[in-house]
Structure 1
């Protein structure tokens, strides 16, 4: 089977959906299929790469080049990895229906909704609801052009897409990082020291080390979680260290302000961007993870999924995002997700780690099965 993947950006390490797309395409190749990947609105596109376009929706020349390449490749399926704000800075790619119509051919379509419309959660501001109404109408018009197989990863998104008549299917996220083997005890101590954690074999039991990976959402509430961590460490005579690593995004100022309050029982560190292998090695050495994503959308958080894939228990301390007529208690089916509702687990210092797993193989096979491969 031949599959053409369309996403916003393909610059490695600069766009999570682009990394996802390249990884999924590679996994399909490993299953014996043929793929090509194209970027539609890539700010890193260069003239020498004819599969990466700076703005295919606005440029007829770029659009024609893409269409010609699609016909030359002659795929069985075209997979659109949909993120509205990746296609337009205000999240309103009004030319998308016309673009999809121009890309019509003998192939079938699949759409993965990494994001849907904004303003659909309970209590959303009026401006978001108005923009979301336009986005929802635009999505409905676009999908009527191509009649795709529809996937998404988060249960609330699936329910909302179903109400739009799109019959969405679940396709879980997988770990985007190539996973490194466990570094071994001695190497782990050395590596943690380079990350700013003064751990030795003798002092390891004094430390409980957590990690927060990737974008820190400004909505993330540090309290009462951090105070609870500090008080727990104080009672137990332990030292808790939390390392933020990866691109921190808009939450950088918040994390820097929190680091000013470090003490011997709770220390926050910022490691910054790391090579993929280095980030995986760090996750292997952690005791637990944190995420700034809300519990209802934890399934769409690539950073949380990556921490879980490394076997870590992940504490989630946001649960304020809910959707009309969508159950608040979602079937997350992962015992490593630890909701925080004012108290840490009784076994906090002995939280078990699971066997690492990328989920890439099972997710790829689900994707291919849904396409009829």
Structure 2
């Protein structure tokens, strides 16, 4: 099968969806499928780049088109590369902000229809519109309504044979617009290094140090307005009651909130380690030596977090420490397994009910599901 993936950027380590496409392309090539990745709006290049990566006996083509080019110029090249690849399937990896800095991609639909004429379309919905939560502002609610209109128009006119998303919330919202989608869970962009597997192929964690220290870890961007002060206080009280050390490690590009989190943690005399950007092996080993992961995404959105997927793949239960976020116009959703939504005064629950995480969806399972759904599309 020949597949072309379309996304915003393919800068390694700088774009989560781009990294997702690269890893998925490599995996699919192992099954002798011909894969091309095209970045339609890449902010990290100033001229067109094309490269060929050889994985065993298979080649993966990576094409990157600069965002500084006009839309016409970029899509002329997209047309050229699609014609050269001659794929059976075009897979649009959709994030509104990948194609426009405000997520308002006027004109994108018509351009995609033109370059994908007479070909089968697949859409992976990584994100929908802003302002989906009850707590949103009027500005974001109206902004989201415009995005929603554009998304509905895009899907209706492209008429994809297969639609995937990784969130139950997004599946419900797509259904409200009249589109049937299937869940395709997110895999980790950080492979587990030197992992030991048990009979169920689940990472076996070394928990011998858990009796003396509980090591919490934050990996990647920290979203603002999380109740870190209260969370740190609760952790300190648990540490005192149980005569145990509770440490916080921050790794990766955590952003402007990193110093705020570190200051709050230290204010309660709890130890902090800031490791910054590290290679994949170092990140993997650090995750393996941690007790619990902290995600700052709201729990209903944690399924689209690549860093949360990495924590799951490394056997970590996850605590969501985030701002209030409750979906509008949607009935109460089932919460993901082995993920806790933090509430004030309930730190004991997360520790005392420490659960060994069930086997996550790995990249092999995800790629096989994708292929199955494409091959069996009506």
TM-score (norm 1): 0.87
**CA distance in structure 1 between the aligned counterparts of 2:145 and 2:350, rounded to whole angstroms:** 45
What is the match of residue 368 of structure 2? 365
Contact (CA 8 Å) 1:220, 1:293: kept in 2 or not? no
**CA distance in structure 2 between the aligned counterparts of 1:282 and 1:268, rounded to whole angstroms:** 14
What is the match of residue 27 of structure 1? 27
| TM-superposed deviation, 1:48 | 5.7
Matched residue pairs, number? Answer: 351
What is the match of residue 96 of structure 2? 84
What is the match of residue 298 of structure 1? 302
Pick aligned residue for 1:67 from 79, 96, 111:
79
**CA distance in structure 2 between the aligned counterparts of 1:59 and 1:156, rounded to whole angstroms:** 32
Pair 1:284-2:288 in alignment: yes
Provide the secondary structure at the position in 1 that maps to 2:42.
coil
What is the match of residue 250 of structure 2? 244
Contact (CA 8 Å) 1:57, 1:63: kept in 2 or not? no
What is the match of residue 220 of structure 2? 214
| TM-superposed deviation, 1:329 | 3.9
C-alpha distance after superposition, 1:328-361 (max 9, x if no partner): 34152x2x32333331345726834447655211
Pick aligned residue for 1:234 from 240, 257, 262:
240
Contact (CA 8 Å) 2:5, 2:21: kept in 1 or not? yes
Pick aligned residue for 1:155 from 165, 168, 174:
168
C-alpha distance after superposition, 1:81-121 (max 9, x if no partner): 11111211111111211211221323111111111011122
Contact (CA 8 Å) 1:5, 1:79: kept in 2 or not? yes
| TM-superposed deviation, 1:205 | 4.2
1:1-373 map, 5 Å: 1-47=1-47, 49-50=49-50, 51-55=63-67, 58-148=70-160, 149-182=162-195, 205-263=211-269, 266-318=270-322, 320-332=324-336, 334=337, 336-341=338-343, 342-346=345-349, 348=351, 351-354=354-357, 357=360, 359-372=362-375
- Shift of the 250–168 alpha-carbon distance from structure 1 to 2, 3 Å rule, reads farther
- Structure with the largest fraction of strand: 2
**CA distance in structure 1 between the aligned counterparts of 2:225 and 2:174, rounded to whole angstroms:** 25
**CA distance in structure 1 between the aligned counterparts of 2:237 and 2:335, rounded to whole angstroms:** 31
| TM-superposed deviation, 1:277 | 1.0
**CA distance in structure 2 between the aligned counterparts of 1:227 and 1:343, rounded to whole angstroms:** 11
- Shift of the 116–298 alpha-carbon distance from structure 1 to 2, 3 Å rule, reads same
**CA distance in structure 2 between the aligned counterparts of 1:120 and 1:349, rounded to whole angstroms:** 33
C-alpha distance after superposition, 1:33-90 (max 9, x if no partner): 1100011111112536141011388332221111011011110110111111121111
Contact (CA 8 Å) 1:57, 1:95: kept in 2 or not? no
**CA distance in structure 2 between the aligned counterparts of 1:73 and 1:121, rounded to whole angstroms:** 41
Contact (CA 8 Å) 1:40, 1:56: kept in 2 or not? no
Contact (CA 8 Å) 2:233, 2:268: kept in 1 or not? no
C-alpha distance after superposition, 1:213-239 (max 9, x if no partner): 111000221142211111011111111
- Larger deviation, residues 59-68 vs 225-234: 59-68
**CA distance in structure 1 between the aligned counterparts of 2:298 and 2:147, rounded to whole angstroms:** 22
Contact (CA 8 Å) 1:82, 1:112: kept in 2 or not? yes
Consecutive unaligned residues in structure 1, runs of 5 or more: 184-200
**CA distance in structure 2 between the aligned counterparts of 1:345 and 1:42, rounded to whole angstroms:** 45
Contact (CA 8 Å) 1:211, 1:242: kept in 2 or not? yes
Consecutive unaligned residues in structure 2, runs of 5 or more: 51-62, 197-207
TM-score (norm 2): 0.86
Contact (CA 8 Å) 1:310, 1:355: kept in 2 or not? no
Contact (CA 8 Å) 2:90, 2:121: kept in 1 or not? yes
**CA distance in structure 2 between the aligned counterparts of 1:120 and 1:307, rounded to whole angstroms:** 26
| TM-superposed deviation, 1:267 | 1.9
What is the match of residue 190 of structure 1? none
Contact (CA 8 Å) 2:8, 2:99: kept in 1 or not? yes
